[in-house]
Structure 1
Amino acid sequence: MPVSALRRLSLSLALCAAVPFACAETWPIPDWSNAPAPRNAALDALEAYAFAERDDVTRKGIRTDALLVIRDGQIIYERYAGPTTRDTPHLTWSVSKSLLAATLGAAYGAGRFKLDDAAAQYYPALAAHPQLKVGHLLNWASGLAWQEGYEYAPLTSSVVAMLYTRGRGDMAEFAADIAQEVAPGTRFRYSSGDSNLLSAALRGMVGEQAYKNYPWTALFEPLGITSAVWESDAQGTYVASSYAYMTARDLARIGLLMERDGRWEQRQLLPSAWIAFNRTPFANFQADPRKPGEAVPGGQWWLNVPINGAAKPWNDVPEDAFAALGHWGQALYVIPSEDLIVVRYGDDRDGSYSHNQLLRRVQAAFVPETAQ
């Protein structure tokens, strides 16, 4: 046996001795293995909810394009609705924000920045906001007077202006020019601008040359992700708020990385402390009673935790659940206590889709002890 192979074997045996569970885990290397769950009434109920017929003229109701369920590192359920297939890189919308957070985690692990660093240190266009820290942006707590109104309020929406009109040539600069409304870190306000400022800051952290391929070299390639497409603006800044595309199977790799605390096989790809930060609720968040079921913000991820007197958002789902969520029903859910990862792509326009309803049905179908 060659020396290099012997060395790898010795390292593997040493790992198994130190961390026995690592040798029993299943990893999608090179691809996911399949262990299909048996059909049952609960699975029928899940499909009736997720894949109900919808009138695509009125666009009322739920339209699921992909539903993928991973348990114990294996695919136990997978279904697509045309034109989406297992090989389709689907637009993730704001799931892109959590992909950026994972990419930043690699830079954090390499010592490229600290959460308390001034954001302007890495993106000088923020010089007018000297108190704004990287950690504030990660919590959507910049304090900028941002309006995330989407297509329902196009005249006042900051994000519509950034993505489609006067800000689209340099999205980070557009966000940096927004006036300061409250002190950074004192208020949560969901902001695609904050996420694109982070994307511009990443360039300053890793340097121009590395930035061009950084999501791939630091994250996607080590995970075996081959389908990723990430659009950039005219300045070459990745549109971290909105424009990453990926197959459901590849997005699930991000979920598995997060579920296993940043570890990929024998490599600690992201620091466990970074994952802990992602899953820590923003301390000053106050639940809006007008938005029942709204998840709690963490570090560019969404959490299912009770906070400041408010109940957990998804009442039928374990408290340790967290998610990357996007416009019109895109979602990557991770439930560590049940070893579940769920990827759901869709095109929901009327607000009838419910995270809690889908996940309750997933648990009933695939985690028998939770069936009701």
Structure 2
Amino acid sequence: MSLPPLPAQPDSVPWPTRTWPTGDLPPALKRARFEALTAEAFDAPISDRLGKTHALLLVQGGRIVFERYGEGFVPEDTQPSWSKAKSITHALVGLLVGDGRLDIHAPAAVPEWRSEGDPRAAITLDHLLRMSSGLKFVEDYVPGHVSDVIEMLFNTGKDDVAAYAARQPPAHPPGTFWSYASGTTNIVARLAGDAADGDIAGFMQTRLFGPLGMTSPIPKFDAAGTFIGSSYCFCTPRDFARFGLLYLRDGVWEGRRLLPEGWVDYARTPTPQPPGTTEGAYGAHWWLGVGGPGSFSANGYAGQYTVLVPDLDLILVRNGDTPLENKDDLKAWVGQVIDTFR
């Protein structure tokens, strides 16, 4: 399939490695509609449709053109990533692939799958990144329901999240069935840590956060030393936007390629999904289409978003606390905000 081109950094706009350049909202903005949507998010402490919005940041053409925070929040506050961390994990894998330390098409080196005749031995890193490993995993955040993600993050699996996920039995042959699963990402994160010689914390700082000027990230690790890449990398909205800009600029930063050529396109190439899937289109550890055709995004529980819109050269970062039952309303609102720029 044909992917929309990714915009280059304008020659006149400095990279935000130290400080974000700022600009104005575009003259063609549907201003009345934009102001109504932002008022819905911020004018009351809690919106009936959106819950609480803690931050909204919009970057266009490499410049911050809008930034607003909810009551009690300031730009320096770190915000939860929840599953936006999955896309950070994708970047770490890309760096290791570029180093020649990981091969996404080779069987994943997972110790739990090495027994003779284990069908999971056929699972590749590509299957894992595309949420198509075939492993059984219940991704349910409702207390009292059967939930592997809650068991993994908060109960018996919390000390070794990757081991908990890797022990799950196969439900489908690898590559035949898409099913979103946080456990999958934690297996990937352990593989990345192993490939980084056991120092994934140092690796992410020197190879990803440092070069981008991201000074706020607080990644969380379990007792086994695995980055909990499914769920935990707190950042300021401005740093979430820096990470988004790396992907919107095709993995290039300050004229230097950080991510391997083609890695961003890999992230935004659709993964086959079962008919009737309601969660939305998916690539490789990035969601697709939230901001219109060609957009891709890092999405997190309770309404965390970093949405990249190539045709508008636009990044939207939203952090907040939206009830689960309102997630579709929030997704629609994000799309509506982006549409005011069209």
Q: TM-score higher than 0.5 here?
A: yes
The aligned amino acid for 1:298 is: G
1:200 alignment counterpart = 190
- Distance of 1:115 and 1:101 partners within structure 2: 11
- For the aligned residue pairs, the C-alpha RMSD in angstroms reads 2.0
The partner residue of 2:179 within 158, 177, 189 is 189
The partner residue of 2:292 within 304, 318, 321 is 318
- Distance of 2:53 and 2:333 partners within structure 1: 14
2:111 alignment counterpart = 124
The aligned amino acid for 1:269 is: L
5+ residue gaps, structure 1? 1-19, 305-313
- Distance of 1:21 and 1:341 partners within structure 2: 13
- Give yes or no for the alignment of 1:97 onto 2:97: no
The partner residue of 2:281 within 296, 308, 322 is 296
The aligned amino acid for 2:335 is: L
1:327 alignment counterpart = 301
Q: Give, in angstroms, the shift of residue 211 of structure 1.
A: 2.2
Aligned pairs for 1:244-323 (under 5 A) are 244-282=233-271, 284-288=272-276, 291=278, 294-304=279-289, 314=290, 317-323=291-297
Q: Which has the higher contact order (CA 8 A, sep 6+)?
A: 2
Contact residue 54 and residue 60 of structure 1 kept, 8 A? no
The aligned amino acid for 2:126 is: G
More helix by share: 1
Q: Give, in angstroms, the shift of residue 43 of structure 1.
A: 2.7
SS in 2 for 1:69: strand
Distance 1:126 1:25, change over 3 A: farther
- Distance of 1:32 and 1:337 partners within structure 2: 21
Q: Give, in angstroms, the shift of residue 238 of structure 1.
A: 0.6
Q: Give, in angstroms, the shift of residue 117 of structure 1.
A: 1.4
Contact residue 50 and residue 358 of structure 1 kept, 8 A? no
Aligned pairs for 1:27-66 (under 5 A) are 27-37=15-25, 40-55=31-46, 61-66=50-55
Q: TM-score, normalised by structure 1?
A: 0.83
What do residues 243-284 of structure 1 show as CA deviations (whole Å, max 9, x unaligned)? Answer: 1100000010111110110000111010131111101111x3
2:201 alignment counterpart = 212
What do residues 58-78 of structure 1 show as CA deviations (whole Å, max 9, x unaligned)? Answer: x87421110000000000000
Contact residue 60 and residue 349 of structure 1 kept, 8 A? no
- Report how many aligned residue pairs link the two structures: 326
Question: Percent of pairs identical after alignment?
Answer: 33
Q: TM-score, normalised by structure 2?
A: 0.90
- Give yes or no for the alignment of 1:147 onto 2:132: no
- Distance of 2:71 and 2:46 partners within structure 1: 15
The partner residue of 2:216 within 218, 227, 230 is 227
5+ residue gaps, structure 2? 1-7
Distance 1:24 1:54, change over 3 A: closer
The aligned amino acid for 1:206 is: A
The aligned amino acid for 1:102 is: A
Q: Which runs of 4+ in 1 moved over 3 A?
A: 20-26
1:361 alignment counterpart = 337
